[in-house]
A and B are shown apart, each in its own frame.
Chain A
Amino acid sequence: MKTYRRPVSATWWRRNPYYVWYMVREASCVVLTLYALTLLVGVARLAQSEVRYEDWLERLSRPWAIAYHVLAFLLVAYHAWTWFRIMPKTLPRVPVPDKAIVVAGVAAIGVCSMLLWWAARP
């Protein structure tokens, strides 16, 4: 059976800032996927040899690589903020004020970030 498919324009979201921010958040998935693939290549290099791994690490210092990671950082940070901002709506109903859930989520980002930053230092 063939059903009618209403055509959707590719630029509908440009009409309203709310939808633009929605698309910014959705864009975080592209950089997050690329970041995961970057790490996967790093693990592959790590499994191969020291020379290959050092070469991968060296490539991360190139200007375009740093620029890409700055963009990825900003987009994923925005994803992180929206993830907890909508948490009162995505969680099952709990007897806690909405604001407390958001504050706890943002605090959790802070704690996890500090722990990882501390653990990463040699």
Chain B
Amino acid sequence: MKRSNKPIFWSLFGAGGMLSALIGPVLIFITGIAVPLGLIPREAMGYERMRLFAQNGFGKVAIVLVIGLFLFHGLHRMYHGVHDFGIHVTPAMKAAFHGVALLGTLAAVYLVSVIG
């Protein structure tokens, strides 16, 4: 019998679900609400500070994990959500949803590697 690839996508979905449950709300609050509204100084997300963060090994891993796992969680759930709207899902759709997540993750890996 052909091996199922379900455990891989389900693990990525689960890891992304856990990470986004733990830090998703506060991250969105900081980058999307607190900094733009000036609740904390703009320098919190200033160019110099963010460059230093992205050039640091820990920062690189954090950026790739947040973007990659949020994408795998979100797109896996979206793939199943399509079914909830009465649309029959096909293997091509599965490849498309997970493919976008993979491309986004690879883009993040590439970007943090060229940032120095």
Partners in one complex: yes
B86 and A8 form a contact (CB under 8 A): yes
Q: A29-B77, A36-B66, A109-B22 are known contacts. Are A65 and B31 too (CB-CB below 8 A)? A: no
Q: How far is the CB of B20 from chain A (nearest CB, A)?
A: 6
A32 at the interface (CB under 8 A from B): yes
Give the docked Cα–Cα distance between A44 and B7 (Å). 31
B25 at the interface (CB under 8 A from A): yes
A26 and B84 form a contact (CB under 8 A): yes
A35 and B28 form a contact (CB under 8 A): yes
B27 and A60 form a contact (CB under 8 A): no
DSSP class of B's interface residues: helix, strand, loop or mixed? helix
B75 and A43 form a contact (CB under 8 A): no
Q: Which residues of B contact A54 (CB under 8 A)?
A: 47
DSSP class of A's interface residues: helix, strand, loop or mixed? helix
Contact with B along A36-50 (1 / 0, CB 8 A): 111110111011001
Q: Which residue of B27, B54, B63, B112 contacts A116 across the interface (Cβ within 8 Å)?
A: B27
The residues of B with any CB-CB pair to A shorter than 8 Å are 17-18, 20-37, 40-47, 49-51, 54, 63, 66-67, 70-71, 73-78, 80-81, 83-86, 88, 104, 107-108, 111-112, 114-115
16 contacts between A and B (CB under 8 A): A7-B86, A29-B74, A30-B74, A32-B20, A32-B70, A33-B74, A36-B74, A39-B63, A46-B47, A46-B115, A47-B111, A65-B36, A76-B24, A83-B17, A117-B30, A121-B44
